[in-house]
Structure 1
């Protein structure tokens, strides 16, 4: 398996993998593929990597800018991340995320946030906001599912806003 940056020739395959990956997920509103398309159209994909095996795209991860208290602090949002159902539970998602985190750290990104399963993302160092004290928050979701990871800068506190493309449907 090879992990590499997406190319224009990968766009349809990324859409297909993303649709398949989220098809039966109860928490999904089935907008993930549209979000990636909208981020790409807005030139807001800071990093977009694919996992390719035997010439086929089997996974994808996207990173885009987020604002904290309406300011750019050089933080990114991780997601969506997708692995085709036929290839899940083989470490592909983990490899995509680890590779991408290494790349955004090398790029000088100060930190990363995501909305996802705490038990899964803890292995990469992501943590939910503490019950008390300063923290990054994302209104409207259970606090334990919104997580952050400082990379090249200090932990911050404030309200996170994702790119408007996340409203795509």
Structure 2
């Protein structure tokens, strides 16, 4: 498996991978592929990585800026993360998360937030923080990871408007 930055010709494969990865997930809004497209169109994909096996995109991860209480604090949101169903539970998602977080650290990001399964994301160092709030989301599923000696912040987190894609 190879992990590399998204290239211009990858958009359709990313869209397809994202759609099938979330198709059977009951918590999904089924808009994840549209979110990635909206972030790409807004040039808000700070980091967009693909996992390639035998020349095919089998996974994708996106990182985009978030604001905390309306301010850019050097923090990013992880997501969506998608892996083709037949390749899930083979370490592809984990490899994408680790590589993405490493690249965030390399651009001097101060932190990262994620909305997802705590049992999955805690293995990468994410933890719940009652001081950071994502409106309408149970605190258990919203986590943060401080990077590069960034301060632990508190406030309301807002993702890029591309997350409102429908």
Q: Do Structure 1 and Structure 2 share a fold, with TM-score over 0.5? A: yes
**Structure 2 residue 151 is matched with structure 1 residue 154:** yes
Deviation at 1:25, TM superposition (A): 0.1
Deviations 1:13-44 (A, max 9, x none): 00000000000000001000000000000000
Q: Which runs of 5+ in 2 are unaligned?
A: none
Shift, 1:139, TM fit? 1.3
Matched, 1:19 2:15: no
Structure 1 unaligned blocks of 5 or more: none
Q: How far is the alpha carbon of 1:129 from its aligned partner?
A: 1.7
Which of 152, 163, 166 lines up with 1:166 in the alignment? 163
Alignment of 1:100-115 (within 5 A): 100-115=100-115
In 2, Cα distance between the equivalents of 1:26 and 1:71? 32
Q: Secondary structure at the match of 1:147?
A: strand
- Scaled by the length of structure 1, the TM-score of the pair is 0.96
Cα offset, 1:70, TM superposition: 0.1
Aligned residue pair count = 165
> Which aligned segments of 4 or more residues in structure 1 are displaced greater than 2 angstroms?
none
Distance in 1, matches of 2:111 and 2:137, equals 20
Aligned to 1:140: 136
Q: Distance in 2 between matches of 1:126 and 1:111?
A: 10
Distance 2:57 2:135 in 1: 34
1:1-169 to 2 correspondences below 5 Å: 1-130=1-130, 135-152=131-148, 153-169=150-166
**Equivalent-residue separation in structure 1 for 2:98 and 2:26 (angstroms):** 26
